[in-house]
Amino acid sequence: MTNCIAANADGAAELVLRRASEFTLEELTHAYNQTRIDYIVPMPMNVRRLQEYVHNYDVDMERSAVATLDGHILGISLLGVRPGRCWSTRLGVLPAKRRRGTGEALMRDNIAMARELGAAYVILEVIKDNEPARKLFEKLGFRELRVLLILRRPPGLPQEDVAPYKMEHLGADAAVELLHQRRGTPSWLDDTPSLINAGNLAALRVELANGSRGWLVYQSTIFQLSRLVLQTEAGDPREVARVMLHALHNEYPIKDTNMENLPLDDPHLPGLLDMGYFESFRRIEMRLDL
């Protein structure tokens, strides 16, 4: 399905919205990287990573939009779809073609597709200080929900002292069960379906002598730990976080760690900072009720 959205009075070529499913992953990857070449945080893709992204976050390529002019891709906006809700992601327009309505057309298409599906709302994330994008989203009716942190910890054994503890390793099935028990509202990136889709999950549970206890779910790949979810079941979240991370990094001392979309008000944040995590950048989560 194509949708012509603009035409010049002098008969010049029209801007056309097409479905992402009409393009190969190679074409989409190349175009996406071109749209992000000067971005605050570029986050480049390759074909494998884009394929994983589509799978992990339930991106509907039939409802994701690609803006073209004279057959050339100008911009992209993907749409994740889950029951009752949608996620607009990876909006990008070629630098030379910005401020001409292409980004707005892509976003309006995402919103229209979400309405067509009967979704209750659309959410998205915008990097803090990306004011042009944020103003566009506000114009379309999105409102700010919260600040999300992207944290990183370099490889290395933990150097910090923690209280004595007992630790239990748990496998993938137990990790999924724990995710179903967690409190709070995850973002789309660390939502339970996203983590299950991504796979390679494991977990650990710790208990301190004072009765404090908690669990940590994570993904472990060859070079990296990621997708961390921390839950304190009893005790001070800062102390429990310190102990869980001490156990994690003693187990995987040579792996880099990346943690995305931790809410700024998460009670485990002080413990993460204590254990060598640092902030890479921030995102603003926004929502449009339909």
Domain segments of the chain: what residues? Answer: 2-119, 151-283
Q: Taking each helix axis from N to C terminus, what angle separates 131-139 and 102-117, rounded to the nearest 10 degrees?
A: 50
pTM of the model: 0.92
Question: Burial level of 147, CB count in 10 A (0-12/13-18/19+)?
Answer: middle
pLDDT per residue as tens digits for the range 68-96: 988 889 999 999 999 999 999 999 898 76
pLDDT per residue as tens digits for the range 225-263: 999 999 999 999 999 999 999 999 999 999 999 999 999
2-119 falls under which CATH superfamily? Gcn5-related N-acetyltransferase (GNAT) (3.40.630.30)
CATH of 151-283, one of 2.40.380, 3.40.630, 3.40.1130, 1.20.950: 3.40.630
Domains 2-119 and 151-283 share a fold: yes
pLDDT per residue as tens digits for the range 262-289: 999 999 999 999 999 999 999 999 999 9
Q: Give ∠ CA 75-79-82 in degrees, rounded to 5.
A: 175
